Each structure stands twice: as structure tokens, then as C-alpha cells.
């Protein structure tokens, strides 16, 4: 009896052990079949076409902006230059500096990277996957989309990346980045697409792909791959409050990139469509005041005299809700939509005026760009950003006073745009009213330009700003 019992226990033990093995096998099979990606083949296939980019450049002082207490204020959106720029050597000679990544798009040596990676370089050096180095020629660059096209000469056919279709990507898909974070060459990181068509304050003409792929200094200019090993974007920026990766990285879509590459090859710069308007987002309160069911569209806050929108008889207060076939869900969508239209072409837009939907045909102009030498339609009331503050301002007319609920006795200039520069770093934004700069009252764009041109360097400068009806002073410094 005891023997039978022993045999039964042994049998039960064997059965239990078999079941454990069975479920473990099922679990392993489940993991293998769950769709979790293996990036080894992707890396092996794509990495030979990824390059490391370094430069020789004259040392430059790092610009710093300071707050009221003397503390340095970092930019929220940081472009990554790779390893920090070194101090000037005792001899004053340029120093080599590893800055970022890039990738080869044609076997004859055309390479794409970010403009901020090579900007200001005296010499650009490309290191290939076999560790050989080549001097690169800058074919063209576009600051607005942060793109640069390089060319190297080589005695053999070079490996190239496969280009994908960024229009077909979807949120939630796996992606991978290859680059040189902190100069650790050929590092691969992975993540998913978090969102599409993101508009960032620093680049309103690029419909960024947002991912959670870890991007660090040195990844800039490197490729973002889908699981087929195809490039769907160029890694360009991250969002950070700490200076390091925080789970939000942004890539320039490859379709937008190749649209720009054709122009960079042909003429060395990129031209974009232009409406000649200053716009702002429509929030819940504005939507209610304009009779909209929900916040949407791009609210025109100013029309450039003589510009395309002016000729199409658009007015401040009009809300653009559709441009050609694209719905303008927010103000950030409009510059992207207009920018890819060839100057001189006609476009149809829908807008809301006094609660009624209307349509207009507009001949798209050419966006003024300092690289192209295109003429700018500028009058005394026209926005200007040619200043170290990077701020576009306009005079307070009746329309602005009504929108901002300002009293008649308030004098100053309304901020209608903030680009790169001290203004963005100290937190200026659209709708702010600048009344005094460096202890001088400013009421016209001409006065503003004159004061800005004479701003001192390396000492505190005060600015009086009204935001939401509340005035206050902020301070900053401009470096030499």
C-alpha cells in the first residue's frame, strides 16, 4: 500500500513537472509570438550607412541668459550639439569637436544631418563605418527645418539607407535610432512613435514626429528607422527641463526632408510658401467669443500690408479653418501646410468671419528667408525678428487692444512671434506687451529697433512686460 502510495506521489510529481515544462514552453512561445521586435537585423542592415560628423570651428562663447536673481535660465527646447564646445586653446587655434550623426542617402556621397550640427563650422569631417574619414562639402542648409546636405568624395560606391514613407507611420509603431550619443559611435536605441504632426515653438514649419526613443547629445542628425529598416525621420530635438532625455524626442519626417533636399541640391537653400499673416491659436474663450462650437483654426492677428493674405482681402479676426484640402485643427498646422506650397501657386482657404464660413483664393507668396535674399514686405507695423531678442512685435492698434482687453492708456508693442534668441529663453510669448526696454519706453516698431540695436552686452537689461493685464519687470543679459 505504501509502495502504491509512493508510486502515486512519484507519478503526481512527474505529471506536475511535465505541466510546468509545458506551461513554460507555452510562455516562451507566447513571448516569441507576441510581436516584440528584434533590432539586430535592422542594425546590421542599416548601420553601415550611418556616419559620425565632427567639425573644426573657431571657439565661441556660449550665450547665457539670466533671470531676475542672476540665475542662468536654460531653454526648454534644446538642440543637441553633442559634447559641449571646448574652451579656446591657449594658441587660439580651432579645436576638433564631435558634434553629431548623419546618414548617406546616395552612393555618390550625399549625406544628411541637422543644420545645428554643422552651423558655424570651418571644416566638416565625416567618419564612415570603416572608421575612414572624409572632408565634407556643405551643399546647402535650411535653418527653418534644421537640415543640412553634405557631400563627400569617395573612390568606391558607398552604402546607403533605405528611405521610407513618413506619411504612412502611425502612433504606437516601433522605431529605432542609430547615432553617436556622447560620441559612443553606432549606438542603437528603440521606442515607439508617440504622436505625429507636432508643431514646436522653435520650428513652426516642420510637422515633427514625436517618439519616446532615447536621444542624447550626439544623436542629432541621425536617422530614425521603422522596423523595415527604412528611414522615416531625422532625430533633431528633445524636450527637457533637466538637460537630459525625459521621454520626449522629435524627428523631422523624411517626406519633408526629401522635399527640402531637392531644393538644397538645386540651389543650396529652401523656399517656402507665405501668406503674410501673424496667427495665434484659438482657445476655448476665443472660440466662444467668435461663435465657434469648439476651439479650432488659426486666428489672424495681423495681416502684412501688400502680402498674399492682404491681396485676398483677409482681415485680423478671421479664423482660417481649412487650407486646400487640409483641416486647420490648430494654428500650428497652417505654417506647415502653406510652407510646402510653391510660391506663385494658387490655394483655396476657408475662414470664419463674424460667425459665417467663407472661402477665398490666394496666390501664395515666398516666405522671406535670409538665405534666399527674398524680398520682405516690411512696413513700420510689420513684424521684424532681425534682433538678438528674436522677437517679432507690432504696434498696439484697436484690434490688439480689444483682443488683449487693454485700456487706452496702455502704450507699448505686442509680441506676435518669438524665435530663437533671448526673448524665447526668458519666456516671452505671443500676446505679451512690451512697454519699456532698457528703461526706455517703446511704442513703435522703429523705436524698438533702435533700442535693440543699442542694447549693452554683458550686463543686466530690464524689460517691462504686461501679460494678462499684469505688468512686471524681467531682466536678461546679452553676451558679446
> Is 146 part of the annotated catalytic residue set?
yes
19-59 pLDDT per residue, tens: 444 444 444 444 444 567 889 999 999 999 999 999 886 65
460-470 pLDDT per residue, tens: 788 888 887 78
> Please, which pLDDT band fits residue 281 given cuts at 50, 70 and 90?
confident
Domain 273-366 has CATH 2.30.42.10: yes
231 contacts: CB under 8 Å, gap ≥ 6: 103, 161, 162, 163, 164, 223, 224, 225, 254
Distance CA 393, CA 417 (A): 7
Distance CA 295, CA 291 (A): 10
Q: Which of 142, 146, 255, 318 is catalytic?
A: 146
Q: Which of 47, 54, 98, 116 is catalytic?
A: 116
Distance CA 101, CA 111 (A): 10
Residue 75 pLDDT greater than 80, yes or no: no
> Please, which pLDDT band fits residue 14 given cuts at 50, 70 and 90?
low
Q: Domain segments of the chain: what residues?
A: 49-151, 162-267, 273-366, 391-476
> Is 116 part of the annotated catalytic residue set?
yes
CATH no. for 49-151: 2.40.10.10
Mean pLDDT throughout 145-173? 91
> Please, which pLDDT band fits residue 480 given cuts at 50, 70 and 90?
low
Q: Which of 220, 249, 331, 384 is catalytic?
A: 220
Residue 11 pLDDT greater than 50, yes or no: no
> Is 220 part of the annotated catalytic residue set?
yes
286-310 pLDDT per residue, tens: 888 787 888 899 998 888 888 899 9
Residue 379 pLDDT greater than 50, yes or no: no
Choose which CATH entry (3.40.630.40, 2.40.10.10, 3.40.30.10, 1.10.10.10) describes domain 162-267. Answer: 2.40.10.10
Choose which CATH entry (1.10.287.130, 2.30.42.10, 2.60.120.10, 3.30.559.10) describes domain 391-476. Answer: 2.30.42.10
Distance CA 308, CA 368 (A): 13
Q: Do domains 162-267 and 391-476 have the same CATH topology?
A: no
84-93 pLDDT per residue, tens: 444 444 445 5
pLDDT at position 289, please? 78
Cα–Cα separations (whole angstroms), residue 127 to 50, 115, 139, 352? 9, 18, 18, 54
Amino acid at each position: 500500500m505504501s509502495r502504491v502510495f509512493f508510486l502515486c506521489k512519484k507519478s503526481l510529481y512527474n505529471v506536475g513537472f511535465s505541466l510546468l515544462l509545458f506551461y513554460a514552453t507555452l510562455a516562451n512561445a507566447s513571448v516569441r509570438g507576441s510581436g516584440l521586435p528584434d533590432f539586430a537585423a535592422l542594425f546590421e542592415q542599416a548601420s553601415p550607412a550611418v556616419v559620425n560628423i565632427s567639425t573644426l570651428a573657431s571657439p565661441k562663447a556660449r550665450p547665457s541668459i539670466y533671470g531676475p536673481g542672476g540665475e542662468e535660465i536654460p531653454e526648454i527646447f534644446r538642440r543637441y550639439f553633442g559634447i559641449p564646445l571646448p574652451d579656446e586653446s591657449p594658441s587660439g587655434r580651432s579645436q576638433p569637436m564631435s558634434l553629431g550623426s548623419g546618414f548617406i542617402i546616395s552612393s555618390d556621397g550625399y549625406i544628411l544631418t541637422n543644420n545645428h550640427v554643422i552651423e558655424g563650422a570651418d571644416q566638416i569631417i565625416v567618419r564612415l563605418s570603416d572608421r575612414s574619414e572624409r572632408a565634407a562639402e556643405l551643399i546647402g542648409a535650411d535653418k527653418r527645418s534644421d537640415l543640412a546636405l553634405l557631400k563627400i568624395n569617395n573612390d568606391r560606391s558607398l552604402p546607403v539607407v533605405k528611405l521610407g514613407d513618413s506619411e504612412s507611420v502611425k502612433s504606437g509603431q516601433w522605431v529605432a535610432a542609430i547615432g553617436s550619443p556622447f560620441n559612443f559611435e553606432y549606438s542603437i536605441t528603440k521606442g515607439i512613435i508617440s504622436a505625429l504632426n507636432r508643431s514646436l515653438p522653435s520650428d513652426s514649419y516642420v510637422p515633427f514626429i514625436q517618439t519616446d526613443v532615447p536621444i542624447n547629445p550626439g544623436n542629432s542628425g541621425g536617422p530614425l528607422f521603422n522596423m523595415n529598416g527604412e528611414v522615416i525621420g531625422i532625430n533633431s530635438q528633445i524636450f527637457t527641463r533637466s538637460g537630459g532625455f525625459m521621454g520626449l524626442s522629435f524627428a523631422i519626417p523624411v517626406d519633408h526632408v526629401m522635399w527640402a533636399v531637392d531644393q538644397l541640391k538645386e540651389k543650396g537653400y529652401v523656399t517656402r510658401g507665405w501668406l503674410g499673416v501673424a496667427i495665434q491659436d484659438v482657445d476655448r474663450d476665443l472660440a466662444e467669443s467668435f461663435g465657434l462650437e469648439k476651439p479650432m483654426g488659426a486666428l489672424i492677428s495681423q495681416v502684412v500690408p501688400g502680402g498674399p493674405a492682404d491681396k485676398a482681402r483677409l482681415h485680423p479676426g478671421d479664423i482660417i479653418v481649412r487650407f486646400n484640402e487640409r483641416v486647420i485643427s490648430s494654428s500650428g498646422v497652417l505654417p506647415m501646410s502653406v510652407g510646402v506650397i510653391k510660391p506663385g501657386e494658387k490655394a483655396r482657404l476657408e475662414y470664419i468671419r463674424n460667425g459665417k464660413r467663407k472661402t477665398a483664393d490666394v496666390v501664395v507668396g515666398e516666405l522671406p528667408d535670409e538665405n534666399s535674399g527674398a524680398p520682405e514686405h516690411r512696413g513700420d507695423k510689420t513684424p521684424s525678428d532681425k534682433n538678438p531678442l528674436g522677437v517679432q512685435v507690432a504696434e498696439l492698434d484697436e484690434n490688439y487692444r480689444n483682443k488683449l482687453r487693454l485700456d487706452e492708456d496702455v502704450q507699448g508693442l505686442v509680441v506676435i512671434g518669438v524665435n530663437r534668441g533671448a526673448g524665447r529663453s526668458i519666456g516671452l510669448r505671443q500676446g505679451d506687451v512690451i512697454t519699456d526696454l532698457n528703461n526706455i519706453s517703446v511704442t513703435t516698431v522703429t523705436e524698438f529697433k533702435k533700442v535693440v540695436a543699442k542694447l549693452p552686452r554683458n550686463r543686466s537689461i530690464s524689460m517691462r512686460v504686461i501679460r494678462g493685464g499684469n505688468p512686471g519687470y524681467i531682466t536678461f543679459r546679452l553676451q558679446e
